[in-house]
A and B are shown apart, each in its own frame.
Chain A
Amino acid sequence: MNNTASPAIETTAVGHRSTDWQGEAMQKRIAKRYAAERRFKYMGLAAVAISSLFLAFLLFVMIGNGLKGFIKTEVAVPIDFVSATGGASPDQLAGENAERNLNSLDIAGIVNTAIEIEYGTDGSEIFTENSWTDVRDALLSNPALITQNTSVWLTAKSELDRAAKDDSNEKYEALYAKLKDAGKVQSGFNWGFLTGSDGTDPARVGIWGAFKGSLITMLVTLSLAFPIGVLAAVYLEEYAPRNRATDFIEVSINNLAAVPSIIFGLLGLVVFLSWLDMSRSSALVGGLVLALMTMPVIVIAGRNSIKSVPPSIREAALGVGASPIQVVFHHVLPLALPGIMTGTIIGMARALGETAPLLMIGMRAFLTSPPQGITDPSTVLPVQIYLWSDEVNRGFVEKTSAAIIVLLLFLLTMNALAIYLRNRFETRW
């Protein structure tokens, strides 16, 4: 615009408004424009601040609650294995029959007697009815222990564990203080949480069962959704003729990607469980359901990255005599792969966090041992979190948060992998 104050323009182009930069009206308008600019900037800043505040709050609460879940409390119990077992030899506890021989020694009885001798009636307040399994596991990994008269550290009951973390009632706090004065308690990193499975006492539960379930389920999902999704994307981009049918397929795939996940759960319930009679709660069915959910995402991501490969590359390859399939597999796919992989990993991350469809197909069972294969009953991390959040015992609060930390770390690793792959293989033209 012309900024000189010409009377002609003043009356014709902008009516009676003044375009005199020094004029009061113009200065006001400029101030207003700057203010609007600033307001918009601050609003944007506020939006970012609010979302990061929520994220910080979530992380703060989860880490605050959850870190305690990685610490366990142990109490010492002196056991004279020699006299209690009547002189069992370490050889009995090695080899194939180890567990059976150990069972015949009645370790549970030995440990419970030792607890009663040492702590009397307090014993049932300190330990659970499963505490003896710590001794069994220790003996299996170190048979020489059976010839010793020693003190073993057993995981304490959840209430006592919470007393050690200043979060219990007076009764257990007094008991904990008493044990602490006697030097019979110790705290340490809870390896059992990373290696164990679900249980009734929060102090003894572990996340490995659910983690392994998640891994197996993801493997099934990936091995189905990735090849099918990529092949579909290649066909639709490179081979499919442009007509009504392909348009219809394209629209369907886009719609499928937006279908709420619970619908896939219902589909799995009807198709895989009722019609195909597959086993309920298995990682196989879970993986199939999640594969159906992830596949459209992979197809869309795949098509976009195939589309972004410049036509000149195809033409050059065809020009030197490559067949269409050679063009696709030698040139287009390798160039599109980083994009496809990013899309796949993001789809997989979404599948990893999925709960609703898996509840429908029964992957919410209480399981005290990790799955051994794809047809074994299993749970996944988010379902385990859901189950623990529903528990009566308040010791599960910290375990729920600890499980959330594990899930978040898993997700972060997957996303970091996606970013790494993209940066490593990305080609720019």
Chain B
Amino acid sequence: MMKKLSIACISVLALSACNDQASSGQGNARDYVEIVGSSTVYPFAKAVAEQFENLDPSYTSPKLESTGTGGGMELFCSGIGPNTPDIANASRRMKKSEFDRCQENGVENIVEFIVGIDGIAIAQSKEGTQFSVTPAEIYEAVAANPYGKPNTAVNWSDINPSFPNTKINVYGPPSTSGTRDALTELIMEVGCKTDAATKALKDTDKEKFEEVCHEVRTDGAYVDTGENDNLIIQKLSANPDSLGIFGYSYLEANMDKVRGMPVAGVEPTYDAISDGSYPGARPLYVYLKGEHVGVIPNLKEYVAEFLKAGASDGYLKKYGLITSPDDVRTKMTSAVEGLPSLDGAELK
């Protein structure tokens, strides 16, 4: 008995020693693509990752983790080497601060791709009263200080008398989410610029402008719902008077429970988003770490497959991705070959 036990002990110790060895040996190569980033791009990236392995027997299945755009950039810019991701998905463009952090950590050769367009949809339960909103009205409903004054609107009818007399209750993405950035940029900023005095602020007092235009109210009318867009759908069904803000792909997948609200008179549909008439549309990005190309196998092939799948006859259309305009697509296809580095001066 004791002999057996000691043998077991020794083998177990040996095994743990092996573990350590294996982990240090792992330091120099990795044979799969590592992807992090946006939860909005996640469903599309999943479909591509699943297909990718089937393309060629030598391709290994990529590792894909949904961390949110901000979290993805954090990991992506943490340095180069096999323990850092090769690709970051983003539902907004890389920020200047993120780019600078990348440069500091030796990630100098970043290649940017636009893989498609996503619309941010404002949706409500099918049982709710339907009404059409403008960006300015959304801004007045969810901003902390619309046009510089504290937000006192309680019911929708306080904003526009023709709206239903129901409480303002909006479920939306948290501040770390790319969807939130799109909401601020595409809806709230557009809305607050309708006021000439606030628009003038942008040039005179940028900080004040951002405070007025970007901050959402914290008195309970706007509710952060984390990176879990499914939760918003559930809450909308439970509470028909509330509104939810999320990516168009979620709207499309849940058309039987919720419907999109027209923004500025335009319904959030595939056609309206792809031709640019719907105001809440944004491009989706994939960032590739140029330093890893050639070191980690099949990086270019993965991005090429993503772009191919995002074409108008590709399978990503089924998942709700909207094909980007032809000129963008041609540019991206050539970018896969040339791998041009991103210029930090273009970023904000």
A: residues with CB less than 8 A from B are 99-100, 102-103, 108, 129-130, 133, 169, 199-200, 220, 222-224, 226-227, 273, 277-282, 284, 329-330, 333-334, 337, 362, 364-369, 373-375, 377, 390-393
14 A-B residue pairs with CB within 8 Å: A102-B57, A108-B54, A280-B83, A329-B5, A333-B5, A367-B61, A369-B60, A369-B61, A375-B23, A377-B32, A377-B63, A392-B229, A392-B249, A392-B254
0 or 1 for each of B34-49: is its CB under 8 Å from A? (1 = yes)? 1000000011011101
**Contact at B43–A226, with CB atoms within 8 Å?**
no
Chain B, Cβ-Cβ closest to A287: B19
**Contact at A200–B47, with CB atoms within 8 Å?**
yes
**Contact at A366–B83, with CB atoms within 8 Å?**
no
Judge if B64 is at the interface, Cβ distance under 8 Å.
yes
**Contact at B12–A223, with CB atoms within 8 Å?**
yes
Chain A, Cβ-Cβ closest to B42: A366
Query: Which residues in chain B, 56-80, are within 8 Å of chain A measured between CB atoms?
Result: 56-57, 60-61, 63-66, 75
Judge if B176 is at the interface, Cβ distance under 8 Å.
no
Chain B, Cβ-Cβ closest to A368: B61
Taking CB atoms, residues of chain A closer than 8 Å to B16 are: 223-224
> In whole angstroms, how far apart are the Cα atoms of A221 and B152 in the complex?
55
**A129-B51, A130-B51, A227-B12 known; A329 and B2 CB under 8 Å?**
yes
Smallest beta-carbon distance A224→chain B, Å: 6
Taking CB atoms, residues of chain A closer than 8 Å to B19 are: 220, 223, 284, 374
Judge if B148 is at the interface, Cβ distance under 8 Å.
no
B: residues with CB less than 8 A from A are 1-2, 5-6, 9, 12-13, 15-16, 19, 22-23, 26-27, 30, 32, 34, 42-43, 45-47, 49-51, 53-54, 56-57, 60-61, 63-66, 75, 82-83, 228-230, 249-250, 253-254, 256, 315, 319
Q: Which of A282, A391, A392 is the most central at the interface, judged by chain B CB atoms within 10 Å of its CB? A: A392
Chain A, Cβ-Cβ closest to B55: A103
Chain B, Cβ-Cβ closest to A132: B54
**A227-B9, A330-B2 known; A279 and B53 CB under 8 Å?**
no
**A129-B315, A279-B26 known; A169 and B256 CB under 8 Å?**
yes
Taking CB atoms, residues of chain A closer than 8 Å to B228 are: 390
Taking CB atoms, residues of chain A closer than 8 Å to B12 are: 222-223, 226-227
Taking CB atoms, residues of chain B closer than 8 Å to A364 are: 65-66
Smallest beta-carbon distance B279→chain A, Å: 24
Taking CB atoms, residues of chain A closer than 8 Å to B15 are: 223
**Contact at A392–B43, with CB atoms within 8 Å?**
yes
> In whole angstroms, how far apart are the Cα atoms of A222 and B27 in the complex?
25
Taking CB atoms, residues of chain B closer than 8 Å to A337 are: 5
Q: Which of A129, A133, A329, A373 is the most central at the interface, judged by chain B CB atoms within 10 Å of its CB? A: A129
Smallest beta-carbon distance A336→chain B, Å: 12
Smallest beta-carbon distance B267→chain A, Å: 21
Chain B, Cβ-Cβ closest to A129: B315
Taking CB atoms, residues of chain B closer than 8 Å to A330 are: 2
**A333-B5, A390-B230 known; A103 and B56 CB under 8 Å?**
yes
| Those 7 A-B pairs whose CB atoms lie nearest each other, nearest first | A99-B57, A366-B64, A368-B61, A365-B65, A377-B63, A392-B253, A369-B61
Taking CB atoms, residues of chain A closer than 8 Å to B75 are: 280
**Contact at B6–A329, with CB atoms within 8 Å?**
yes
Taking CB atoms, residues of chain A closer than 8 Å to B26 are: 278-279, 375
Taking CB atoms, residues of chain A closer than 8 Å to B27 are: 277
Q: Which of A108, A227, A368 is the most central at the interface, judged by chain B CB atoms within 10 Å of its CB? A: A368
> In whole angstroms, how far apart are the Cα atoms of A332 and B128 in the complex?
71
**Contact at B83–A277, with CB atoms within 8 Å?**
yes
Q: Which of A364, A365, A373, A391 is the most central at the interface, judged by chain B CB atoms within 10 Å of its CB? A: A365
Taking CB atoms, residues of chain B closer than 8 Å to A282 are: 23
> In whole angstroms, how far apart are the Cα atoms of A238 and B228 in the complex?
52
> In whole angstroms, how far apart are the Cα atoms of A223 and B22 in the complex?
15
**Contact at B54–A130, with CB atoms within 8 Å?**
yes
Smallest beta-carbon distance A338→chain B, Å: 12
Chain B, Cβ-Cβ closest to A372: B60
Smallest beta-carbon distance A335→chain B, Å: 10
Taking CB atoms, residues of chain A closer than 8 Å to B64 are: 365-367
Taking CB atoms, residues of chain A closer than 8 Å to B34 are: 280, 377
Chain B, Cβ-Cβ closest to A103: B57
**A108-B54, A334-B2 known; A375 and B230 CB under 8 Å?**
no
